[in-house]
């Protein structure tokens, strides 16, 4: 994959006038993933910030056909669309389900697991802003240890984030990838690749969120990069079980040195109640996972 912005499709699939917040990581990611997927795509999505970005029927800034569904049935609705297209012999249209972490890690896991087990021909995208952000920052099982949310108001969250990549990997998928709007070419390339593969593909987008995480809107790209520099987020692909670092994470795995997680944590208001013990626990969690990935990359 070459690092070259000129290969990015110039067409826009989100017209000016969306209702996402200023500095929203999700809207940047969505812009680039639609450029990669192009017109021959159908989207299905549940209630979420993305649903708000799409707007109220019949007005929307998004030019790709979309079905609105419920949290628990996001992947089931994609299965239905895929089955309908197959019945019509329309095998050249990409079906994409896209949901927040609440609708993926928590409420939608059952229909996603079912579709993945059947290897349904679709792409499932989780944009992970680490909370139920559309309804004002409630805790999800993707919220990191030490973050304060409106449902953890006195003490911050006490548990580590669920490792959803491991869960999806256990379904033996043909393709899984993690990416971030801070690295638009990495994101674009992975979606171009995912579109060409058949079966269930799982894409995880780490999506910084200024109001939910408590940082200035201008810092979205920086926060996303710090997440990678500290190993909180690992850019990677898992293709038919084979793990590969990509982009900046690949460089860090070969010759770089990860930054301590404090460099990432100290820039976000959501971590202001985090204790030193929790910071150490988070660092250990990050290091353990990083070392596991290093071992796998060498296999």
Ligand X SMILES: Cc1ncc(C[n+]2csc(CCOP(=O)(O)OP(=O)(O)O)c2C)c(N)n1
Strand 200-206 versus strand 175-179 pairing type:
parallel
Buried b (16+ CB within 10 A) or exposed e, 38-54: eeebbbbbbbbbbbebb
Nearer to ligand X, 99 or 176 (CB): 99
Provide the mask over 37-76, with x wherever binding to ligand SF4 is found by CB under 6 A and - wherever it is not: ------------x---------------------------
Tell me if 149 contacts ligand X by CB under 6 A: no
Give the Å distances, CA to CA, from 37 to 10, 155, 167, 276. Answer: 12, 42, 25, 43
User: Tokens 């995480």 — which residue?
Assistant: 213
The correct pick among 48, 74, 148, 200 for binding ligand X (CB under 6 A) is: 48
The correct pick among 66, 73, 74, 129 for binding ligand SF4 (CB under 6 A) is: 129
The correct pick among 140, 143, 148, 179 for binding ligand X (CB under 6 A) is: 140
Q: Which does 140 bind (CB under 5 to 8 A by kind): ligand X, ligand SF4, none?
A: ligand X
How many whole angstroms from its chain centre is CA 125? 6
Q: Which does 20 bind (CB under 5 to 8 A by kind): ligand X, ligand SF4, none?
A: ligand SF4
**CA 162/CA 171 separation, integer angstroms:** 16
Binding segment (CB under 6 A) for ligand SF4, from list 32-40, 166-174, 205-213, 273-281: 205-213
Tell me if 29 contacts ligand X by CB under 6 A: no
Tell me if 81 contacts ligand X by CB under 6 A: no
Q: Which does 200 bind (CB under 5 to 8 A by kind): ligand X, ligand SF4, none?
A: none
Tell me if 231 contacts ligand SF4 by CB under 6 A: no
The correct pick among 22, 91, 110, 135 for binding ligand X (CB under 6 A) is: 135
Give the Å distances, CA to CA, from 20 to 23, 35, 68. Answer: 8, 18, 17
Nearer to ligand SF4, 177 or 209 (CB): 209
What are the tokens at 85? 């297209």
In whole angstroms, the minimum distance from the beta carbon of 290 to ligand SF4 comes to 26
Q: Which has the closest alpha carbon to 212: 121, 111, 132?
A: 132
Tell me if 99 contacts ligand X by CB under 6 A: yes
How many whole angstroms from its chain centre is CA 4? 22
CB-based contact 179:203 (threshold 8 Å): yes
Tell me if 209 contacts ligand SF4 by CB under 6 A: yes
Tell me if 102 contacts ligand X by CB under 6 A: yes
Sheet holding 175-179, edge to edge: 66-68, 41-45, 94-100, 122-128, 200-206, 175-179, 236-239, 242-245
Tell me if 26 contacts ligand SF4 by CB under 6 A: yes
Nearer to ligand SF4, 43 or 49 (CB): 49
CB-based contact 269:215 (threshold 8 Å): yes
Residue 116's H or E segment, with its range, is: helix 109-117
Chain residues that interact with ligand SF4, rule: CB under 6 A: 20-21, 24, 26, 49, 129, 133-134, 209-212
Chain residues that interact with ligand X, rule: CB under 6 A: 47-50, 71, 99-103, 129, 132-135, 140
């Amino acid at each position: 994959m070459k690092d070259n912005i000129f290969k990015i499709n110039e067409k826009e699939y989100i017209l000016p006038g969306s209702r996402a917040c200023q500095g929203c990581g999700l809207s940047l990611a969505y812009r680039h993933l639609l450029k990669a997927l192009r017109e021959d795509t159908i989207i299905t999505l549940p209630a979420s910030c993305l649903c708000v970005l799409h707007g109220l029927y019949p007005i929307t800034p998004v030019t790709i056909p979309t079905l609105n569904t419920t949290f628990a049935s996001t992947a089931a609705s994609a299965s239905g669309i895929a089955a309908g297209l197959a019945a019509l012999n329309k095998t050249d249209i990409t079906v994409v389900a896209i949901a927040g972490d609440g609708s993926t890690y928590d409420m939608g896991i059952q229909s996603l697991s079912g579709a993945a087990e059947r290897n349904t021909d679709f792409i499932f995208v989780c944009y992970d802003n680490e909370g139920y952000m559309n309804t004002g920052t409630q805790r999800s099982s993707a919220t990191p240890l030490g973050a304060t949310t409106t449902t953890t108001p006195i003490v911050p969250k006490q548990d580590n984030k669920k490792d959803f990549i491991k869960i999806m990997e256990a379904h033996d998928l043909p393709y899984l990838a993690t990416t971030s709007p801070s690295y638009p070419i990495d994101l674009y390339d992975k979606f171009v690749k995912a579109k060409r593969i058949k079966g269930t593909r799982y894409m995880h987008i780490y999506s910084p969120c200024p109001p939910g995480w408590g940082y200035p809107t201008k810092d979205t790209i920086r926060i996303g990069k710090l997440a990678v520099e500290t190993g909180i987020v690992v850019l990677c692909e898992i293709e038919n079980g084979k793990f590969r670092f990509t982009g900046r994470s690949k460089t860090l795995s070969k010759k770089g040195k990860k930054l301590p997680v404090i460099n990432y944590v100290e820039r976000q208001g959501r971590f202001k109640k985090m204790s030193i013990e929790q910071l150490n626990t988070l660092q250990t969690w990050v290091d353990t996972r990083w070392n596991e990935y290093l071992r796998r990359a060498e296999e």
